[in-house]
Amino acid sequence: MSVAPCTERPVALIDLLDRLLQGGVVLTGDLVLSIADVDLVRIDLRAVIAPVAASALSQISEAPCPRPPAV
Amino acid sequence: MTDPNLVYIYAVLRPTPEATAAVTQLRGVAGEPVHLVAPAAGTHRLAFAVGHVPAADYAEAPLAAHLDDLDWLESTVRSHHAVVAALVGCGAAVLPLRLATVYLDEASARQALDTRRDYFLSLLERLTGHVELGVKLYATPDITPPEADTDAAREQPTGLGAGRAYLSIRRRRQRRNDEAWRTVAQAAAHLTETARALAVDRVAHSPQRGSLAGPGPGTNVGNDAYLVRADRVDAFRTGILAAAEGVPGLRVEVTGPWAPYSFALQPEPQSETAA
Question: Measured between alpha carbons, how far is B223 from B81 in angstroms, rounded to an integer?
Answer: 19
Percent of chain B whose predicted confidence (pLDDT) is above 90: 46
Measured between its terminal Cα atoms, the distance across chain B in Å is 49
Residue B195 has pLDDT above 90, yes or no: yes
The residue in chain B having the minimum alpha-carbon distance to the alpha carbon of residue A2 is B82
Give the residue-averaged pLDDT of B173-190.
87
CA–CA min distance B159, chain A (Å)? 34
Question: Measured between alpha carbons, how far is B245 from B239 in angstroms, rounded to an integer?
Answer: 10
Q: How confident is the model at residue A71 (pLDDT cuts 50, 70, 90)?
A: very low
CA–CA min distance A4, chain B (Å)? 6
Strands B201-205 vs A40-42: parallel, antiparallel or unpaired: unpaired
Highest mean pLDDT among A33-42, A58-67, B117-126, B144-153: B117-126
Residue B251 has pLDDT above 60, yes or no: yes
Q: How confident is the model at residue B191 (pLDDT cuts 50, 70, 90)?
A: very high
The residue in chain B having the minimum alpha-carbon distance to the alpha carbon of residue A18 is B205
- A-chain residues near B225 (CB < 8 A): 18-19, 23
CA–CA min distance B271, chain A (Å)? 15
| Three-state DSSP class for residue B224 | strand
Question: Which of B198-207, B226-235, B243-252 has the weakest average pLDDT?
Answer: B243-252
Residue B168 has pLDDT above 90, yes or no: no
Rg value, chain A, Cα? 16
pLDDT tens digits, residue range B12-42?
999 888 899 999 999 999 999 999 998 766 6
Ramachandran area for residue B271 (φ above 0: left; ψ -120 to 50: alpha; else beta)? left
Give the residue-averaged pLDDT of B81-90.
94
Where would I find the H helices in chain B?
17-23, 55-58, 60-66, 70-89, 106-115, 117-127, 151-154, 162-198, 233-244
pLDDT tens digits, residue range B118-142?
999 999 999 999 999 999 999 987 7
The residue in chain B having the minimum alpha-carbon distance to the alpha carbon of residue A70 is B267
What pLDDT, on a 0 to 100 scale, did the predictor assign at position B239?
95
Give the residue-averaged pLDDT of A26-44.
43
The residue in chain A having the minimum alpha-carbon distance to the alpha carbon of residue B86 is A3
CA–CA min distance A1, chain B (Å)? 8
Question: Measured between alpha carbons, how far is B11 from B48 in angstroms, rounded to an integer?
Answer: 6
What pLDDT, on a 0 to 100 scale, did the predictor assign at position B274?
37
- B-chain residues near A68 (CB < 8 A): none
Give the residue-averaged pLDDT of B98-120.
87
What pLDDT, on a 0 to 100 scale, did the predictor assign at position A64?
41
Residue B190: count other Cβ atoms within 10 Å of its Cβ: 14
Q: Mean of the per-residue pLDDT values for chain B?
A: 85
Supply the pTM of this predicted model.
0.79
Question: Distance from CA of residue B39 to its chain's centroid?
Answer: 28
Give the residue-averaged pLDDT of B143-170.
66
What pLDDT, on a 0 to 100 scale, did the predictor assign at position B87?
94
Option in A13, A40, A43 nearest B112 (CB): A40
Question: Which of A33-47, B68-82, B149-163 has the weakest average pLDDT?
Answer: A33-47
